[in-house]
Structure 1
Amino acid sequence: MDELSVKASSLGDNLSAPDGSDLPEPRRDFHDEQYLSQCSLKSRDLLLLTCPNLGLQVCWFLLMSSGTPYLESLDISKSITSLVWLTGPIFGAFAQPIFGILSDESRHPWGKRKPFILCGASCVATCFLALACAEDITDGPTNAPTADSDSTKHWYTQVFAIACVGVITFAMQAYQSGVRALIVDNCPPQQQAAASAWSMRWNVAGNLVLSTVGFLDAKRTFFRPEGNAKFKILAVVTTACIVVTVGLVSYYVADSSQNPRGKSRQPLTKLCWSMLCPAELSKHWNQLPPVSHRVCTIQLFAWVAWFPVLYYTSTFAYETVLPYNFARELHEKGQLDIRLIEHAELHRSSSMLYFAFATFATSLLLHMIEHAMPAFDHTQPRIWFFSQCSLGFCLLLTFFARTGATATIIISVMGASWAVAMWIPFALISAEISQPSPSKLGGKTGWILGLHNMAMSLPQIVSAILCAVILGALRWLNIGDGIAWIFRLASIAVFYSAYLINKL
């Protein structure tokens, strides 16, 4: 198990024997597979190794929960905003697998994964701060501002903000691929499920941090008088999470720069072409290990539904309290009830907070089940199956959601399914690819994780386009609950993914 042997040496000083005692020698020959299989990382080391997931999650959660309102505050139209959010799944589908290949082939002195983590994280943190200060950066000093100069500066602000989002979603792919591969690299096979569980818990913590701040703002309006100060505060919190977690893992976790099996690096153009060429891509897809192949196939359908759930959940809660037709009628009559709008905004924020709390509670429950059941690893597909069924029923229950409280309950149960979706697919794949030479792609951790990310990203592109078409058609037909109908249609993909999970 050449690559895993080298990978595990990064935390060699923190490995412990099965009986819990420290190993007598600080350095071992980690090319010995039998020795590695008898070792395990301590809980504190798993906690440290997976902590960068906190920084990753706050980045995605900030974009999903506050990105659209912030861009709209810059007078960027909803149609352009929808196209901007397509950059995430597009880069995830094609850029992240390329970064995974490059990291597999890397021989950088810092290691195979750290250069991608550090460069990607630095770029993301810088661009988030720049995005939050877009108006301040693009508004240069003027002696006598005019309407033309104001509109020009505003146009500059919009272009600058869109460019920042594009750079963030691109750099996130290097950051994310490096973090995920580093975790697989440094964990013994028997602890891959535990590492995935800790990654999920850090993701939940990221959701809780930002959703709590957003809820407090909606409840107490701490930042609203200062315009976009709320987004600036959230960007600072996000940057702090990135700096602390990436700094910790970079300092304490070693990263090997050795290439598996002494293979020479392939030309960059050949690597990229193998990712973009349909024939080459199909070839590598068919070479995936059996469990990874099935999980990726399931994700192709599951993420058709997860895209609207993640991006439109807060809007669904808002529209349940303040339906589109009702809001438009009030606006046309000039009788817009500010208190009703504030009530709808409160449900928008509280729904995301309860979603995060439900995810957190489910993660704790899964942790207890894992320790209570000796054969928990064999139960993971079954838990994933029931979770997907639960998500599908929640999407259908939108037929009966008429109040903000009902919508919040439905969204909370969706949060429980999200906890499972963040853990079990990654645990199944990580456990398989950490074994010795699982396939013709043996040792290609970044490659396999990149293909898995592609399986999650491609359906998001399709789903985003379908959502835009459906919302436009429903708006033309004067049907107000467009988000609810998107959820109901998404249940078809959810139940089919559950059928595929059942075949696992």
Structure 2
Amino acid sequence: MFIKTAAMKKLSGRPFQFVQQVFSVFLTLNFKTVFMSKKPHLSFWQIWNMSFGFLGIQFGFALQNANVSRIFETLGAKVDEIPILWIAAPVTGLIMQPIIGHLSDNTWNRWGRRRPFFMVGAILASIALIIMPNSPTLWVAAGMLWIMDASINISMEPFRAFVGDMLPSEQRTKGFAMQSFFIGTGAVVASALPYILTNWFGIANTAPEGKIPPSVQYSFYLGAFAFFAAVLWTVLRTKEYSPEELKAHAEAEGLVTGETPGEEISEPGKVSRVFLNRSILWISVGLVLSYIIYHFGFHPELYIFSAGLGVYGLMMLISGLIIRSGNLKNGIAVVMHDLYRMPKTMAQLAVVQFFSWFALFAMWIYTTAAVTKHIYGTTDPTSELFNKGADWVGICFAVYNGFAAAVAFLLPVIAKRTSRKFTHMLALVAGGLGLISIYFIKDPNLLLVSMVGVGFAWASILSMPYAILAGALPANKMGTYMGIFNFFIVIPQILAASILGFFTRDLFGGEAVYAIVLGGISMFIAAATVMFVKDEH
């Protein structure tokens, strides 16, 4: 009312003064009154451009998922050793994603907030993709997996937060569905590349003992180019909101914006006491389990699980001491505090993610071993039959990713008619059925039917949890929380790496197909827990 009255008085002057005074009134208006508005809806092609980089990122991940076990076996790894070699991927994600998320939340320069990380990760990942298939020994390949996965994570993590940054709540399901489409499309081509190069272009898919087949090598080279080019497209074709614009949009949408400046950690006294007390418990449990593993002579990979508990306790101890010292902006302490104070919706989704990704990791690790032995009847990685089966696994992975791409845009329609929770539950049930059905199949062609169910689940896993989560997160901590959310993706993978080798060797009699069945059961558990998730936005 005050602004309106003042304006009426000022507009009573001469024509020149009229223009001058209108401009003056405009400048004196409250900033929020003029500029605070909800994020504008983006067009289809704007969402396309901001998501296109995921096409390249998935080239890297798909080549890794479909071929790394094959590379390890070619270089001499035994089937029960594969999970421990795969530990690089989840551990790297556990470390890198919250760090990258926190750094990108606090970055702003002429290239933007997230885009600098897109580009750095793309350059490093492309180099790693070129080196990986030329690994001369098993330990070099395992080391390159660490480097490659770290580089991919630098690009990938900010892409999740990017959707939350750029899209209003009602478009986020569509935004994550677009990412699912590009993930599926990229994975179709990348997973099938060795098969395509061999069967369409005559490039050999066998090699002398201890050597990577040329079809795999050229696939990785093409993946390196695709990764860099796709990410570069997104960097050049999108523009980000500034931190001030993001805050104004979040307030206009009635969303929480996080702590005020200078209050990275709320209630530091209470938080430090909780961290210090709980750290003793976690460290003690880790030490006791490590002693039990040592005393009873259990398999060494189980140390990953016990050491993980101890390391978590140590991180709580360090964070508690940092907070008690008054350093409330330390990156480690802030991430641990945000984990401790995570939104309720995020905690509920964590359970769903845990069982979903345990199932996926079991599939990625053991599908090659399961299919080549259970269906093709061979365990010799130098044989033509083994490599034929391994190539068919690439086709199977291409099919589930292709179906994921095809169904990606159907998911928002189903969610609109039912709910995001029901859609996700339905997809996870289909994924569980797909995995368990592998045990009953003897004809390789029927595996493609199984992959349809897996593809439905994969499309939903890549979109629905993030669409539900984004609306529950503070706008200025979107990257940090998306990185923390990754904990509940990589922790089950670390658990899988530490126990699946033991299960396969000592409980399943070396039959990798039972690990796939266990993954299907885990997918069913994930489906059951979805309905307990709170989804208000």
- After TM superposition, the score normalised by the length of structure 2 is 0.71
2:486 aligned counterpart, secondary structure = helix
Question: Is contact 1:94-1:276 (8 Å) kept?
Answer: no
- Provide the rounded CA distance (Å) in 2 between the counterparts of 1:276 and 1:121: 30
Q: Given the superposition, is the C-alpha separation of residues 221 and 464 from structure 1 closer, same or farther in structure 2, using an over 3 Å criterion?
A: farther
- Give the superposed CA RMSD: 3.5
- Provide the rounded CA distance (Å) in 2 between the counterparts of 1:112 and 1:38: 17
Q: Does residue 224 in structure 1 map to residue 269 in structure 2?
A: no
- Provide the rounded CA distance (Å) in 2 between the counterparts of 1:352 and 1:220: 18
What is aligned with 2:178? 198
Deviations for 1:185-237, whole angstroms, at most 9, x for unmatched residues? 12222211111011000101111111332332453572217843223322222
What is aligned with 2:125? 124
Question: Is contact 1:98-1:450 (8 Å) kept?
Answer: yes
- Provide the rounded CA distance (Å) in 2 between the counterparts of 1:341 and 1:430: 43
AA aligned to 1:216 is I
What is aligned with 2:20? none
AA aligned to 2:500 is C
Q: Given the superposition, is the C-alpha separation of residues 288 and 483 from structure 1 closer, same or farther in structure 2, using an over 3 Å criterion?
A: same
In structure 2, stretches of 5+ residues that fail to align are: 1-29, 208-212, 248-258, 266-271, 273-310, 321-332
Q: Given the superposition, is the C-alpha separation of residues 248 and 274 from structure 1 closer, same or farther in structure 2, using an over 3 Å criterion?
A: farther
Question: Is contact 2:349-2:465 (8 Å) kept?
Answer: yes
Q: Given the superposition, is the C-alpha separation of residues 108 and 262 from structure 1 closer, same or farther in structure 2, using an over 3 Å criterion?
A: farther
Q: Given the superposition, is the C-alpha separation of residues 181 and 339 from structure 1 closer, same or farther in structure 2, using an over 3 Å criterion?
A: closer
- Provide the rounded CA distance (Å) in 2 between the counterparts of 1:276 and 1:339: 48
Deviations for 1:59-114, whole angstroms, at most 9, x for unmatched residues? 11111111222233344555665333111111212321121112212244533322
What is aligned with 1:96? 97
How many Å apart are 1:423 and its aligned residue? 1.4
How many Å apart are 1:452 and its aligned residue? 1.1
Q: Does residue 189 in structure 1 map to residue 166 in structure 2?
A: no
What is aligned with 1:298? 352
Give the percent of matched residue pairs that are identical in Structure 1 and Structure 2: 17
Among 193, 197, 220, the residue aligned to 1:235? 220
Q: Given the superposition, is the C-alpha separation of residues 338 and 464 from structure 1 closer, same or farther in structure 2, using an over 3 Å criterion?
A: closer
Question: Is contact 2:206-2:384 (8 Å) kept?
Answer: no
AA aligned to 2:89 is G
How many Å apart are 1:46 and its aligned residue? 0.3
Deviations for 1:314-343, whole angstroms, at most 9, x for unmatched residues? 4333333223xxx47xx8xxxx99775565
What pairs with 1:256-267 in structure 2 (closer than 5 Å)?
A: 258=243, 263=261
AA aligned to 2:128 is C
AA aligned to 2:152 is M
Q: Does residue 454 in structure 1 map to residue 439 in structure 2?
A: no
What pairs with 1:473-484 in structure 2 (closer than 5 Å)?
A: 473-474=506-507, 479=509, 482-484=511-513
What pairs with 1:137-152 in structure 2 (closer than 5 Å)?
A: none
How many Å apart are 1:484 and its aligned residue? 2.0
Q: Does residue 503 in structure 1 map to residue 532 in structure 2?
A: yes
Question: Is contact 1:320-1:407 (8 Å) kept?
Answer: no
2:462 aligned counterpart, secondary structure = helix
AA aligned to 1:391 is G
- Provide the rounded CA distance (Å) in 2 between the counterparts of 1:284 and 1:313: 36
Q: Given the superposition, is the C-alpha separation of residues 33 and 362 from structure 1 closer, same or farther in structure 2, using an over 3 Å criterion?
A: farther
Q: Given the superposition, is the C-alpha separation of residues 242 and 264 from structure 1 closer, same or farther in structure 2, using an over 3 Å criterion?
A: farther
What is aligned with 2:372? 318
What is aligned with 2:72? 71
Question: Is contact 1:98-1:275 (8 Å) kept?
Answer: no
In structure 1, stretches of 5+ residues that fail to align are: 1-28, 136-156
- Provide the rounded CA distance (Å) in 2 between the counterparts of 1:352 and 1:450: 26
Q: Given the superposition, is the C-alpha separation of residues 338 and 236 from structure 1 closer, same or farther in structure 2, using an over 3 Å criterion?
A: closer
AA aligned to 1:44 is W
- Equivalent residue pairs, number: 427
Q: Given the superposition, is the C-alpha separation of residues 450 and 30 from structure 1 closer, same or farther in structure 2, using an over 3 Å criterion?
A: farther
- After TM superposition, the score normalised by the length of structure 1 is 0.75
Among 382, 390, 398, the residue aligned to 1:353? 398
- Provide the rounded CA distance (Å) in 1 between the counterparts of 2:217 and 2:262: 46
How many Å apart are 1:312 and its aligned residue? 2.4
- Provide the rounded CA distance (Å) in 2 between the counterparts of 1:365 and 1:189: 18
Q: Given the superposition, is the C-alpha separation of residues 194 and 33 from structure 1 closer, same or farther in structure 2, using an over 3 Å criterion?
A: farther
What is aligned with 1:20? none
Among 469, 480, 492, the residue aligned to 2:521? 492
- Provide the rounded CA distance (Å) in 1 between the counterparts of 2:352 and 2:166: 27
Among 177, 187, 193, the residue aligned to 1:213? 193
1:277 aligned counterpart, secondary structure = helix
- Provide the rounded CA distance (Å) in 2 between the counterparts of 1:428 and 1:443: 17
What pairs with 1:10-29 in structure 2 (closer than 5 Å)?
A: none
- Provide the rounded CA distance (Å) in 2 between the counterparts of 1:306 and 1:33: 48
- Provide the rounded CA distance (Å) in 1 between the counterparts of 2:432 and 2:132: 36
How many Å apart are 1:276 and its aligned residue? 3.5
- Provide the rounded CA distance (Å) in 2 between the counterparts of 1:102 and 1:345: 39
What is aligned with 1:463? 496
What is aligned with 2:465? 425
AA aligned to 1:347 is W
AA aligned to 2:234 is V
Q: Once structures 1 and 2 are overlaid, which stretch shifts more, 229-238 or 67-76? A: 67-76
How many Å apart are 1:51 and its aligned residue? 0.9
Question: Is contact 1:392-1:491 (8 Å) kept?
Answer: yes
Q: Given the superposition, is the C-alpha separation of residues 127 and 118 from structure 1 closer, same or farther in structure 2, using an over 3 Å criterion?
A: same
- Provide the rounded CA distance (Å) in 2 between the counterparts of 1:262 and 1:294: 26
Question: Is contact 2:104-2:479 (8 Å) kept?
Answer: yes
Report the structure number with the largest CA radius of gyration.
2
What is aligned with 1:397? 437
How many Å apart are 1:411 and its aligned residue? 2.8
How many Å apart are 1:379 and its aligned residue? 1.3
- Provide the rounded CA distance (Å) in 1 between the counterparts of 2:482 and 2:52: 18
How many Å apart are 1:254 and its aligned residue? 2.7
Question: Is contact 2:435-2:520 (8 Å) kept?
Answer: yes
How many Å apart are 1:54 and its aligned residue? 0.9
Q: Given the superposition, is the C-alpha separation of residues 408 and 42 from structure 1 closer, same or farther in structure 2, using an over 3 Å criterion?
A: closer
Question: Is contact 1:90-1:457 (8 Å) kept?
Answer: yes
Q: Does residue 384 in structure 1 map to residue 417 in structure 2?
A: no
2:202 aligned counterpart, secondary structure = coil
Question: Is contact 1:55-1:241 (8 Å) kept?
Answer: yes
Among 147, 150, 153, the residue aligned to 1:167? 147
1:443 aligned counterpart, secondary structure = helix
